[in-house]
Structure 1
Amino acid sequence: MIIWRNDYYDEIELQLEEALDDSTVQALRNAPYLVKQENLLEQGVEDSTWLPLYKYMNSPAFVNRDKERQWRNIFLETPNETLRSRLALWEERNLRIAAHIRSATAREPGGRVLITIGASHKSFLDSYLKKMMEIEVIHLSDLIEY
């Protein structure tokens, strides 16, 4: 695993914490789509049924809502330069992840790569990877019926 952290993030980290005041974070945590995610997570822990959580978190509705609520509403549309910088760093991080994935595919042309990634990265990576030549993005929902 490659762990990478941008030096500029370190410079703005305290400002970022201030910009993400408690009310902003609490409003995000209380968003109905994230409350449902938390409930499905608790259920999965209780009875080891992870497929409902996976299905929900990988649904277009969840992915689009998360991208809109978390990245567009908070980091892009809030008039705060630190939050806008955080968005730019997030996109840079996702581009680096996509580049690492593409590098892995170069080692096995025509092969397959299994990617397990945090849900907030999914829509960005799907978009980047789908634009690459010789890359076909296949989701679990494409392979099994659930």
Structure 2
Amino acid sequence: MMKSILTNLLIVAGLFTLVTQAQMKKTEVLILGTQHLHHIKGFEKPMLKNVISKLESYNFDVVCIEKMSGELLNDIVFREDRSFDGITKGSFGHKYLAVADTVQKVKKVTFLEAKRNIEVLKSGKKLSPQERKKLLFNYLAVTDVPSAALQYEYINSDKIFKTNFEKYIAGLIKEEIASNNEYYSLAGSLAKINNINKLEPIDNFQDEALLLKYYPEFMNDFKNYGGKFKNINMLPVYQKTNELTQEGIKSNDLSNLYEFLNSDEYVKQDYDAQWDVWHKTNFPSGSDRARHSLWEMRNLQITGNIMKVAARNSGKKILVIIGASHKGFLEKYLNQINDVKVLKYE
């Protein structure tokens, strides 16, 4: 009898341990450093075939991209601070805000209504083309053009866009997709493979705006005292990056470039070349140290946004596709978080 009780207790304890381990499975995050692909002359999407195949093996649940959220963009607009015009009137925000404003007016939907609609629609297991079209327009209403483009690719037909306005929007999205931005050529491709309905925006581009607001003399300082940055493109780390890029264009395969951008060698050399140097330039105003501090701030904010995504996806696998210079900073912060396991691109 006693043996039977002990056996049952051991079985229960074992099951409890298994359940606890399942509940405590860490959230896994891979930071994929990338070049900004639309800047690469001659880039074509098939060059990423092997990179995508490698990433596919991870079976990611969430894909994050280097874009600001609609909430943050609108917050900056409502500040009415000209210091941030570079964001709201530049490439980081203008087209997203303009499309959102137009869609809200034509479709008669507010930002908050669109947010609620998105949560309902994207949770569906199998969306019809009509549901995907609704989701597409709601994404546009909250500035999320990349996720709208993802829905457009799922729909895979222009016939569903009936009105002149809908056809106009479909045309805009096709132009976006054709731009070869990593949002579409890389993140969107992986999202489709894993049946993901949203590309999560995790960036915060306010660092340079704040730098020029606090230190309007920065550009003059850089011109007069920034000699250490002269010929920075000739440093071995960037020469190798350029060589691997050109080799990848010729061979129609950028795999070796991505291996290098995500290596410890690149992370260290890029930090020494681009960031540690700010502590050695000795600008009279101190704007050089501020440049580094605000870069750290931006990466801390990005990490915070990644953790916001992680909070809604505990125990899942998250891919973050972002400029390679961010990789070392983000991994440094994420490695300090007990509930996160940082994955390697290997």
Are the structure 2 counterparts of residues 43 and 91 from structure 1 closer, same or farther at C-alpha, using a change threshold of 3 Å? same
- Structure that is richer in strand per residue: 2
SS at match of 1:29: helix
User: Structure 2: which amino acid aligns with 1:58?
Assistant: N
Match of 1:25 in 2: 229
Q: What's the counterpart of residue 11 of structure 1?
A: 213
Q: Does 1:78 align with 2:286?
A: no
- Runs of at least 4 residues off by over 4 Å: none
CA distance in 1, matches of 2:302, 2:250: 32
Counterpart selection for 2:271 from 60, 64, 67: 67
Aligned residues: 140
Distance in structure 1 (CA, Å) of the matches to 2:254 and 2:228:
29
Identity of aligned pairs, percent? 27
- Bigger Rg, structure 1 or 2: 2
1:123-142 pair list within 5 angstroms: 123-141=328-346
Aligned Cα root-mean-square deviation (Å): 1.9
Structure 1: how far apart are the matches of 2:252 and 2:219? 35
User: In the TM superposition, what whole-angstrom CA distance separates every residue of 1:26-80 from its partner, at most 9, and x where no partner exists?
Assistant: 331111111111111122223222111111111111111111221112x112212
In structure 2, C-alpha distance between the alignment counterparts of 1:39 and 1:12, rounded to whole Å: 38
Q: Which moved further from structure 2: 12-21 or 83-92? A: 12-21
Between 93-102 and 39-48, the greater mean CA deviation after superposition: 39-48
Q: Is residue 2:313 matched to residue 1:108?
A: yes
Change (3 A) 1:90 1:119: same
Relative to the length of structure 1, the TM-score reads: 0.85
| CA-CA distance at 1:139 after TM superposition | 1.6
How far is 1:13 from its partner?
7.0
Q: 1:39 to 1:15 in 2, by over 3 A?
A: farther
Q: If each structure's helix is expressed as a fraction of its own residues, which one has the higher value?
A: 1
Q: Do the aligned residues in 1 keep the contact of 2:212 with 2:218 (CA within 8 Å)?
A: no
What's the offset of the Cα at 1:12? 5.5
Give the 3-state SS of the residue equivalent to 1:115 in structure 2. strand
Return the alpha-carbon distance in structure 2 between the equivalents of residues 119 and 138 of structure 1: 15
> Among residues 280, 303, 326, which one is paired with 1:121 in the alignment?
326
Assess if the C-alpha contact under 8 Å between 2:237 and 2:266 holds in 1.
yes
Q: Which amino acid is 1:122 matched to?
A: K
Residues 28-39 of structure 1 correspond to what in structure 2 (within 5 A)? 28-39=232-243
SS in 1 for 2:257: helix
**Counterpart position of 2:149:** none
Residues 23 and 76 (structure 1), Cα distance of their counterparts in 2 relative to 1, 3 Å cut: closer
| Per-residue Cα deviation, 1:100-140 (whole angstroms, up to 9, x for no partner) | 00000000111111011111111110000011121001022
Instruction: Determine the C-alpha separation between the residues in 1 that align with 2:275 and 2:308.
Output: 27
Distance in 2, matches of 1:64 and 1:83, equals 20
> What CA distance in whole angstroms lies between the structure 2 residues aligned with 1:128 and 1:108?
19
- The answer (yes or no) to whether the contact 2:262–2:345 under 8 Å persists in 1 is no
**Partner AA of 1:82 in structure 2:** S
Higher relative contact order, chain-length normalized (CA < 8 Å, sep 6+): 2
Amino acid of the structure 2 residue aligned with 1:18: N
